[in-house]
Amino acid sequence: MLGSDKQLNGASAMVRMLQSYGVKHIFGLCGDTSLPFYDALHNLDHGMEHILTRDERSASYMADAYARVTGKVGVCEGPSGGGATHILPGLVEASESSIPVLGITSDISTTGRGRYALTELDQESLFRPLTKWNSVIDRADRLPAQVRAAFRAMTTGRPGAAQLGLPFDVQEGAVPEFELWAQAEFGNYPALPAAPDPVAVDTLLDALLSSCSPVIVCGGGVVISRGEASLSEFAETLNLPVATTISGQGSLPETHPNCVGVVGSNGGIEATRKIIDNADLVLFLSCRAGSVTTERWSSPNHKTRILHIDSDPMVISANYPTEVGMVCDARLGLNALNSALRKRGEISTEFRGKERASVAKSEKAKYFAELSGSAVSPILPERLIADLQKVLPEDAVIVADPGTPCPYVSAYYELPKAGRYFISNRAHGALGYSMPATIGAAFGRPNSKIVGIMGDGSFGFTAGELESVVRYNIPVTLLVCSNSVFGWIKAGQKAGFGERYFSVDFSCTRHDAVAEAFGLQAFRVDDPAELQSTLAKAIAVDGPTLVDVICQPLNEARAPVSEWVA
């Protein structure tokens, strides 16, 4: 209470600060240096649920997906030493994906530094280059201010991850209660979104309207800013085709007549690439124009006129000469553009966005249909996506690992609603993401069906979290594409290294049996004729399920990955 002379210890102060930012779930794993923090979580009435994970990396991936589906800061925690190094991958992924995740890592006492204390490492130096903001709290009375700084950093500007180191003696030190205040709005993102310069709005519109065949390429910022309705209005007013990156899926429903779908080397195909190659102007909207989206900066080429809107000024013109840049939140930028269009009155364009999108989607549908009904075994990934589309409800959330699942879901699963209904870890693409992220998404959106799709290589990274799924009785469905190979790498060895396969194959696992041993209801399917009914059964169960799908490996598949096509 403001003005009170009462004091709490640092661990209790941390709990109260998290509570004041509206935190409801904390994902983490216990350790010696975290004991005061755990004791505070036990003793205080705070309304937060702690989700015990089986790995700190899993905790950070859970917090990432939780943040993506809720619009709130995700919180994970772990102990010093190995716990800190294990939690790091999820913070890196979240930060590069513009997702605010707070990683709290307890630490040895400040008095033990330099004395060869067990689990000692320089946490501040470790996390500094890989998070948006970080600090190791050296004094208990500074804890509230450092927590406030972390939340401000995570949720403002381009969102990102933060790390707070919490030494053991700081957890036991005194914190004045009057310091325990927070700006609650920084518990959600984006906070303090920036509006664009009005001059830039008109300049960008003039440039766009002077083109003949423009296209928008949306990154993740439209969904992050909750600007889907604003984008729909803008695209419909000017009849613009709208393509997306994988992270940008959900910017428009993929059934929307102006929506092209995913472009780029992962999930794009020749039919969608034509939209970009034939454009005389590309508007990158909250999209960094990185190597995957642009097929290593070849599509669009450097002769194409470029407009760019992003909340991070460093992104604009990083890869392409840019005619007009506009620094702002995606939703506020679109609102400003829509307002400017209304002031201009009726505008007639010949952009033919619906027609161009329809042609691309029609070509893609024919390409997909060549294999999506196939009755061959092993089951083709195209058949898996087609049957999954038939049985999932509209509000289902799909979480896909970056191996076999991601390009197929991105290319061919048609998301029927705008918003966050597809998640994949596209920043760094680490295996082992899907299973824990599915758990995190389920805690964040408990009334939706959450489906996690992974390869069997990825399954091996985080199989221990099956116990977590059962312990919390989370009604998710996990799909394992089983083919006994690190398929992405083997496909790369086939395409670029003369089929010189080396150290990519492993033995077959009965993933259904493993899941049953943990307590899930599990299914195994190797006959395409039984796939749809098996998926429907698994999804209908009011509890955790796993389906082991015997699937064609990527090196034998016609994957929507451009570098393998030739």
CATH architecture assigned to 198-356 = 3-Layer(aba) Sandwich (3.40)
Enumerate residue ranges in the chain where pLDDT < 70. 1-4, 566
Best CA proximity match to 424, nearest among 55, 65, 159: 65
Provide φ and ψ at 303, rounded to 5°: -95, -10
User: Helix and strand tally (H, E) in the chain?
Assistant: 22, 20
3-class SS at 50?
Answer: strand
pLDDT of residue 566: 60
Q: Whole-model pTM?
A: 0.97
Report whether 44 contacts 93 (CB < 8 A). no
Does the structural domain 373-565 have CATH classification 3.40.50.970? yes
**Domain boundary assignment for the chain:** 7-187, 198-356, 373-565
Distance CA 429, CA 529 (A): 32
Strands in 162-167's sheet, in edge-to-edge order, are: 49-52, 25-28, 74-78, 101-107, 162-167, 133-136
pLDDT of residue 4: 61
Provide φ and ψ at 400, rounded to 5°: -125, 135
Distance CA 464, CA 518 (A): 9
373-565 matches 7-187 in CATH topology: yes
pLDDT of residue 302: 87
CATH architecture assigned to 7-187 = 3-Layer(aba) Sandwich (3.40)
Distance CA 412, CA 403 (A): 15
Strand ranges, E, within 237-388: 242-244, 259-262, 281-285, 305-310, 324-327
Concatenated DSSP letters of 181-249: ---GGGGBSS-SPPPPPHHHHHHHHHHHHT-SSEEEEE-THHHHTT-HHHHHHHHHHHT--EEE-STTT
Distance CA 28, CA 440 (A): 11
Best CA proximity match to 136, nearest among 120, 149, 122, 151: 122
Q: Is 302 exposed, middle or buried (0-12, 13-18, 19+ CB in 10 A)?
A: exposed
